[in-house]
Amino acid sequence: MKSLSLSAPALSCRAAVTTAVAALALTGCANYFGIGSDKQMSSPGQYESNQSLPSQGGQWPSLDWANQFGDPQLPQLIAEALEGSPSIAQAQARIAKASSYIESSRSALYPKVNASYSWNREIYSANSIYPPPFGGTWYSENNALASASWDLDLWGKNRQRLGQAVSQERATEADMQQARVTLAASVASAYNQLARLYAQRDIAQREVQNREEIGRITDGRVTAGLDTNVERQTAIGNIATTRANLSDLDGQITVVRYQLGALLGKGPDRGLQIVQPVLASGGAIALPDNLPADLLARRPDIVVARWQVEAALHDVKEAKAEFFPDVNLAATAGFDAFGWGKFFTAGSRQIQFGPAIHLPIFDGGALRSQLKGRYADFDYDVAGYNQTLVNALNDVSTQVASIHSIDRQQADAQRALEASTSAYQLSVVRYKAGLSPQLQVLSADQSRLAAEQTVTDMRMSRRNMQIALIKALGGGFDATKVDLVVPTDARVAQAPQSVQPLPASRATPTAAD
């Protein structure tokens, strides 16, 4: 057996070539020097909110928050909507699609193995390059081949792509939770609107009775010669107008019922089956402690925005890895022979193996352009997160301020209703006794009617604000209980710093890069 040896000059030459290739790999022309981002995600502590959102020892909304309104039909309707709404089904489909991206991205981390077999029947030309007995003769060629390849992913490109897919799935899951919170609040708001219309209908029904009573008094006064036909026709017109208002409210009630049927994911007839609401007051408002900070895990839209930033960060790191050489290991083995006789013999073997290296040197700026785009996406998502946080704090504080304001208004509105009711009753007595004209009674009745409608609207509006506040506080969502909390390690906590550009030397990236 002969041995093969290399001389010192040959070894020196090979070492020089290896060193040159390594240097080229680390200092290629394509680099991302000067590309980076200084955008940072805001924390709740950066926004002053102690006066607007004081700690009051309250509780965060639970998933069964609808029970506090004392109407058993409301939580049943919410549960029905969450189970059958097409919007929730769409959100679930988006989660399934995002999950498929995870599986696809994960597959790039593992070796791939394929096998193939081909059989060809061919006659070779007798007047070409193949001499007899090949030329002019039919032959069957069998080829069986097994191949394997593995992208070593030395710079983490495939791992970052997988991380991006996981983050997108988490964002999609949080988005579904946001859809559930929004749907539950929408059902409750529509149900409260139905309660408002029924309350206004009760007022309108009583008003019809009041106007009919005034009409009977007017008829008696006309007979007694105390009023004229003008007052009689005025009374008749007022009765007709009030009945028209009652019919209008009946139409609005039907429309809201149809809207509820749609929110439940059912047909309009389902809304007609809903009985009249019997909602009670939701009670006093007390904000939970440490609200701004804990809101990050309680508002699904904030969680969505946070996962979007995390996905953008993985995109940036993947784009950076594109600047480094790809190293793939590949191997093939099989048999190739004419006919079957020697197909599986040692002489028919075919074997090939070795690494393949792809190094970007000059690409006309394509990789730099791609990285700039990824950084732009990152900046956009960071800005979106910050805006979502600002909107969330403003949403909560606005609802709290509105509730406190309407609480103060209700006391005055109730006193106004009591006074206008007394004035109306007194005017009716005086009208019967012939001591005041019909116009005074109608004016007092109009004031009493407006005051009663105002009190009713305030009561319903306050309940609507309570529902909006529950939604603003997350509607019972808690990211810690559904495994949607973004990792809080140093790499994530310092996300903006972790996407700064590397030096032009293109040193090997680490987890901090």
- What pLDDT sits at residue 488? 54
pLDDT tens readout for residues 184-207: 999 999 999 999 999 999 999 999
Comparing CA positions, the residue from 509, 493, 495, 511 lying closest to residue 375 is 495
**Mean pLDDT, range 382-392, rounded to an integer:** 95
| pLDDT tops 70 at residue 500 | no
Average pLDDT, the chain: 86
- Mean per-residue pLDDT for 421-430? 93
Is 142 in a helix, a strand, or coil?
strand
510 has pLDDT over 80? no
260-308 pLDDT per residue, tens: 999 999 999 999 999 999 999 878 889 999 999 999 999 999 999 999 9
Nearest to 302 by CA among 421, 181, 171, 210: 171
**H helices present in 68-124, as ranges:** 73-84, 86-107
Distance from C-alpha of 416 to C-alpha of 424, rounded to nearest angstrom: 12
One-letter amino acid of 228: T
Query: Which pair of structure tokens corresponds to residue 283?
Result: 């009670």
Asked if pLDDT for residue 1 goes beyond 50, the answer is: no
Q: pLDDT for 245-272, tens place per residue?
A: 999 999 999 999 999 999 999 999 999 9
User: How confident is the model at residue 393, as a pLDDT?
Assistant: 96
130 vs 151: CA distance, rounded Å: 40
**Can you give the pLDDT at residue 433?**
86
Distance of alpha carbon 387 from alpha carbon 210, whole angstroms: 53
367, 29 Cβ separation under 8 angstroms:
no
CA distance 133 to 148: 36
Q: Could you state, in order of their start, the residue ranges of all structural domains in the chain?
A: 8-34+53-109+153-283+290-325+360-499, 112-152+326-359
Helix (H) or strand (E) holding 208: helix 157-223
| Exposure class string for 399-410: b at 16+ Cβ within 10 A, else e | bbebbeebeeeb
Q: Which band of pLDDT confidence, cut at 50, 70 and 90, is reported for residue 501?
A: very low
Q: Are 164 and 311 in contact (CB under 8 A)?
A: yes
CATH 1.20.1600.10 fits 8-34+53-109+153-283+290-325+360-499, yes or no: yes
Instruction: Determine the Cα–Cα distance for residues 432 and 418; give it in Å rounded to an integer.
Output: 21
pLDDT of residue 342: 81
Q: Which pLDDT does position 507 carry in this prediction?
A: 33
Task: Locate 243 and state its tokens.
Answer: 């009945």
CATH topology of domain 112-152+326-359: Outer membrane efflux proteins (OEP) (2.20.200)
Q: What is the pLDDT of residue 334?
A: 87
